Amino acid sequence: MSDAADNAWQQICSASDINDGELKRFEAGQFAVVVARVGDEFRVIPPFCPHMAEPLHESGICRSGTLTCSKHLWQWNLLTGQEQGPAERPLMFYESDVRDGEVWARVDQELVYEFGEEDDDDFEW
């Protein structure tokens, strides 16, 4: 791994900061991420719903490995990011790892969902 790649990895939180089925928002340098826990697995995701950008640490409900955004009920398999039910976009993941009880993620570049033009219909100049 090059120095540049090493610097891209950042310690986000301790594994013990998050209970099973919990989602928490953390600052990761220039931007925010949400860390989700499913059993002993952790996923680091952008902090917004892929549908209409609700803050997932507030709107997200995690049950048995399924993440549901309570705003319009889009759902995903939290371990794979795969859409379930009405969801039309997968979840994006930051590459992550647990080392010595700490959750690390590769956060060199912010992951941003592309929202459809219909989401801007109410915007007026």
Provide the binding-site residues for ligand FES, judged by CB under 6 A: 49, 51-52, 54, 59, 69, 71-72, 74
Can you tell me the distance from the alpha carbon of 97 to that of 124, in angstroms, rounded to the nearest whole number? 43
CB of 46 to ligand FES, least distance (A): 12
Residues 6+ away with beta carbon under 8 Å from 113: 46, 48, 50, 53, 89, 92
Question: Which residue, 15 or 77, has its beta carbon nearer to ligand FES?
Answer: 77
Can you tell me the distance from the alpha carbon of 6 to that of 8, in angstroms, rounded to the nearest whole number? 5
Question: Which residue, 69 or 91, has its beta carbon nearer to ligand FES?
Answer: 69
Question: Which residue, 52 or 79, has its beta carbon nearer to ligand FES?
Answer: 52
